[in-house]
Structure 1
Amino acid sequence: MARLDRAAVLAGAWQFIEGHGVDALTMRKLASSLGVNHGTLYWHVENKQALTDALADDLLAGVADDTDSGASGPDRLLELAHRLRSALLSHRDGARVLAGTFVRQPNTLAFGEAAIGAALESGVPEPEAVLAAFSVQYYVMGFVIEEQAGYDLVRADSTRVQRETTIDFERFPNIAAGLKTLRDTPRDNQFAYGLTRLLTGTCRS
């Protein structure tokens, strides 16, 4: 195989996650999939947390680029949110890889810098701009975690319709209507609706 370097480790980790999911990822299993001794990985990432942090930073590569091209603060924050969702959806379990990390690496720092700056430009007072930017990030991550979990359920379980028939819709009519709305509303529209409501309540034009 080609010489192992950090980029190859990350590429191998993503390939493993695509096939098995992030929960199955361990340093030993990754080493086996790469055809190397697991100790070799420690030359490139010091432990599993360092690997996760590196994957999170890799996900955000380019997300914050060129977001200051004349767009207003709210539009910049909106663009960043859509870019973040696209980045997280680019890999299986992408949102779960990012969630729970506090990565101090260039791509994640660039995203935070851009999001806070966009919140400030939107008229959010300085002490609240961080909370506004992170609220948007939390919304995106939470939405995509649910979105990707749904994909996994479809892969693993073809009985969604049968499971829904076990619900007593006469007792829970709002749930019946809600399920229909969710089925009839594309994911992109669901995401845009929640994001727009969040930004409307957060940003001043």
Structure 2
Amino acid sequence: MRLTREQVVTGGLDLLDEAGLDKLTMRRLAAALGVQNGATYWHFSSKQALLEAMADRMLEGVTAGLAPDLPWEARVAETAQRLRRALLARRDGARLFAGVFFPLPNALSYGETMAATLRDAGLPLRDAVWAVDALTYFVVGHAAEEQLAAALPDGGRSAVARLVSALDSQRHPALHAAAGDVAAPHPQEHFRFGLELLLTGIRARLDGPVH
């Protein structure tokens, strides 16, 4: 039976979970799929094209079933939370997402949903799409930090200890006093805090011009 495009994408995501982004190669994928090296190129002309399709697959369902009558803040927050969960569901998911440009169906659906929600809330369209960028950068960056911390030896405890020991009470009084809140991995409430800061900024835009 001929290998399908969907099978290649699924195999790529399975290999991503198994080996990580740095070790994902077309040759290794072909071996995992049990096909000759080069067979995957029938569907994807390059590894980059495959990574784009994999990133788009990760976004499946991110915008599905959103209640149309939700207030804009709740709709944006829920979509951002869904994006975060989608990235965290795959090993190196945030790095994969950040490393590709993919104007593909699920990515475009995500962007359209977020931009239309903010436009309908009253933002000028340029502000709406730029706000989507800011929200997305935050989600991806936060997810990348979470995945990086989770991949560290001993759960990141030694890295946290290094950071805390580097904070000097005289040179870094604020950071030293807040050492317990500086080190990653941060809890879910840390993500919600940052998201709410961004939503607060958007509300300020809606309430009047920002100079």
TM-score normalised over the length of structure 2: 0.86
Asked if 1:48 corresponds to 2:47, the answer is yes
Aligned length: 204
* Pairing 1:72–2:65 present: no
Query: CA-to-partner distance for each residue in 1:17-39, whole Å, 9 max, x for gaps?
Result: 22221111111121122222221
- Tell me how far apart the structure 2 counterparts of residues 83 and 165 of structure 1 sit (CA, whole Å): 32
Post-superposition offset of 1:196 = 0.4
Q: Tell me the distance in 2 between the aligned counterparts of 1:3 and 1:155.
A: 43
**CA 1:184–1:53: 2 relative to 1, 3 Å:** closer
In structure 2, the partner of 1:139 is 138
* Cα distance, 1:5 vs structure 2: 2.1
Structure 2 gaps of 5+ residues are none
Secondary structure of 1:159's partner?
helix
Amino acid at match of 2:200: T
Does the C-alpha gap of structure 1 residues 39 and 126 become closer, same or farther in structure 2, counting only changes over 3 Å?
A: same
Answer whether contact 1:73 1:120 (CA < 8 A) is retained. Answer: no
The structure-2 alpha-carbon separation of the partners of 1:23 and 1:148, relative to structure 1 and needing over 3 Å to count, comes to same
Letter in 2 for 1:95: A
Q: What is the identity, as a one-letter code, of the residue corresponding to 2:106?
A: N
116 and 155 in structure 1: CA distance in 2 versus 1, 3 angstrom threshold: farther
| RCO comparison, higher one (Cα < 8 Å, 6+) | 1
RMSD: 2.4
Please give the residue correspondences for 1:117-128 in structure 2 after superposition, counting only pairs within 5 Å: 117-128=116-127
Q: Which amino acid aligns with 2:195?
A: L
Q: What displacement does 1:90 show?
A: 0.6
Checking the alignment, whether the CA contact within 8 Å between 2:164 and 2:179 is kept in structure 1 is no
Report if the CA contact (8 A) 2:56-2:105 is conserved: yes
Counterpart amino acid of 1:81? A
Taking structure 1 as the reference length, the TM-score comes to 0.88
Answer yes or no: is the 8 Å Cα contact 2:8–2:40 preserved in 1: yes
CA deviations on 1:102-148 (whole Å, 9 max, x unpaired) are 21211111101101011112221122111011111111011111111
- For 2:42, what is the secondary structure of its paired residue? coil
